[in-house]
Amino acid sequence: MNPEVLLPVAFLAGFFGSTHCLGMCGAIVVLFEEQPRGKFARPLRRLLYNVGRLGFYALLGAIAATGGSLLAKSAGADTGLILLRVLAALLVIALGLNLLFDWRSLQFLERGGALLWRRLTPLARHVLPISTPARALSAGFIWGALPCGLVYSAVALAAASGSAANGMLVMLLFWMGTMPALWLAGASAARIASWKNRRLLRRIAGLILVLIGIVALAFPLQRLTGQAHDGHAQSSTASQADMDSLTAR
């Protein structure tokens, strides 16, 4: 699964997984929208706190991709990246199954992220109320640390991207996918509860994410199969060469 494939997968995971975003982040969006208006317009504040969220995602993407590259090199560059991409695709499938059947199979990831979230949430008192652009950006950055299986699935995609720059780009596309739902949620914060409880929408989004994950999984599995076939062919060629050498003697 090349970066050209990872990018649309990240965007689509963000877009179709955003019903999950409304459930996880709805209360925070309402909190931000109900802050005193301050000296700048509400749409600008909404843009800034979402840009702050992007900042945290980009940082996660760069760290994950750097770590993924180091792990891939230790395991053999091609094989390591392929295994990371298999893991990323499986996480996308797991997220889709969560939405389809109301499972919580990614709770173990969210529990790990909760450690960071608990350390960052005390900082919120320094950025609330969101009365300035700097506070809006900072509040969004802290928001980005909210433990979320959807975000961690995107981080897994970033880890398989091969470089810090690609990892940041994967998270940018993921963020862009989540933006329509979260922007509209901010503009109509009072309707979040009715949106996030629409089961049919969650089921459709879950099914699409499962399909996206299966397609994403096909690429690294194809590479693994190809590598195994090439290795077998090379072994057969070497064996034949040895037989020919013995016969010549």
Residue with tokens 């939405």: 99
pLDDT tens by residue, 200-222: 777 887 888 888 888 888 877 77
pTM of the model: 0.76
Q: Which residue has the higher pLDDT, 203 or 3?
A: 203
Q: Which residue has the higher pLDDT, 10 or 37?
A: 10
Q: How many residues does the chain have?
A: 249
DSSP annotation of 121:
G
Q: What whole-number distance in Å separates Cα of residue 119 and Cα of residue 22? A: 23
Residue with tokens 């499972």: 103
Q: What whole-number distance in Å separates Cα of residue 181 and Cα of residue 202? A: 13
Classify 191 as helix, strand or coil: helix
pLDDT of residue 137: 93
Residue 21 pLDDT greater than 70, yes or no:
no
pLDDT tens by residue, 113-151: 777 777 777 887 888 888 888 988 999 999 888 888 788
Non-local (6+) Cβ contacts of 12 within 8 A are 177, 208, 209, 212
Region 54-67 average pLDDT: 94
Residue with tokens 């949430």: 121
Distances (CA, A) of 52 to 45, 68, 112, 193: 10, 24, 22, 24
Type of residue numbered 7: L
